[in-house]
């Protein structure tokens, strides 16, 4: 089907669902998701085809803790399964919030959530050097116990404090979304689609040529870029907790950036201007999208999303 409307993929940061200093109760998350849904609907009302992806770090971390706590009574589920569970959980909450807001506006759109698998390379270097923190923070005795009893790899991620340790897992680079054909059909039909939550479930091809889940997490911004490729999006927007990308972050010469060409963005990325695990993968995802053929990628905050599309806010990465 030929597109007749602009298409945008919106990647919601985890802060859009569980705000800082919140406990993460269902009620708190529901309120945050309603705010996010109002932002998303601005694009629907203005004629965009909309695809939404989201982080799930706090939620999958909590679920892994629940698995640990109940291990004496019930068999714990693997990480890939927990990722799928939280995709469903957050997809349900976003889907319901969007449906309710659409109804209040007398807008007739279907909303659907797709549990998404993302192929990764079983020989990805990330599997030899796990570095993505997940779950709670631990003290030294708990660290030693979990390493001995469960085989967790736990590293110090804070310079000090009583609990400076966290479990780390591999974060392989996404190759492609397995459900790409179904995604295209659903988006082309005019539905609002939620997909690739938490970066999608990482899967590999086993020795029998079958897909199987693997322990790890995929960066949701890099996976969101693959989603934008899959649905032939015109725009890719990453919503985080700052309105613009900054250079020389934390230094006296710190400054915000309005616009970056791909070549310039690559230069700053290679110089280490963007924090690994934070802004760096966001900038990399934007570079990849524009190089793939997207019109423009934008990094901004949730409350500035539409202003950014109007070129009044945000950092814009362009060819």
Q: Which residues belong to the active site?
A: 14-15, 132, 220, 282
- SS3 sequence of 256-275: EECEEEHHHHHHHHHCCCCC
Check if the beta carbon of residue 177 is closer than 8 Å to that of residue 9.
no
Smallest CA-to-CA distance from 276 within 165, 117, 157 is with 157
Residue 151 Cα to chain centre, angstroms: 27
Tokens 């590999």 found at:
204
12/241 Cα distance (integer angstroms): 10
Distance in Å from the first CA to the final CA of the chain: 26
32/241 Cα distance (integer angstroms): 13
Phi first, then psi: give them for residue 170, nearest 5 degrees: -65, 150
Check if the beta carbon of residue 272 is closer than 8 Å to that of residue 210.
no
| Secondary structure element (H or E) that encloses residue 255, with its range | strand 255-257
């Amino acid at each position: 089907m030929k597109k007749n409307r602009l298409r945008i993929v919106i990647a919601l940061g985890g802060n859009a669902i569980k705000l800082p200093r919140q406990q993460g109760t269902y009620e708190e998350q529901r309120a945050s998701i309603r705010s996010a849904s109002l932002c998303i609907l601005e694009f629907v009302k203005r004629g965009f085809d909309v695809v939404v992806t989201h982080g799930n770090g706090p939620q999958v971390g909590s679920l892994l803790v629940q698995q640990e706590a109940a291990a004496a009574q019930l068999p714990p589920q693997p990480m890939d399964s927990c990722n799928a569970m939280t995709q469903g959980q957050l997809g349900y909450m976003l889907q319901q919030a969007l449906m309710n807001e659409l109804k209040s506006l007398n807008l007739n759109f279907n909303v659907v959530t797709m549990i998404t698998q993302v192929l990764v390379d079983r020989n990805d270097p990330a599997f030899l050097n796990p570095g993505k923190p997940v779950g709670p923070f631990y003290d030294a005795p708990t660290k030693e116990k979990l390493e001995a009893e469960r085989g967790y790899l736990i590293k110090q991620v804070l310079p000090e404090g009583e609990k400076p340790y966290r479990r780390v897992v591999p974060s392989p680079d996404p190759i492609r979304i397995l459900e790409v054909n179904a995604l295209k059909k659903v988006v082309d039909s005019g539905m609002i689609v939620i997909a690739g939550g938490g970066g999608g479930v990482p899967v590999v091809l086993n020795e029998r040529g079958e897909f199987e889940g693997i322990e790890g997490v995929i960066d949701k911004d890099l996976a969101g870029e693959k989603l934008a490729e899959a649905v032939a999006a015109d725009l890719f927007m990453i919503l985080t907790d700052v309105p613009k990308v900054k250079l020389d972050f934390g230094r006296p010469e710190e400054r915000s950036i309005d616009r970056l060409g791909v070549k310039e963005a690559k230069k700053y990325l290679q110089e280490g201007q963007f924090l690994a695990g934070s802004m760096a993968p966001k900038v990399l995802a934007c570079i990849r999208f524009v190089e793939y053929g997207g019109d423009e990628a934008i990094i901004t905050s949730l409350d500035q999303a539409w202003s950014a599309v109007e070129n009044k806010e945000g950092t814009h990465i362009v060819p």
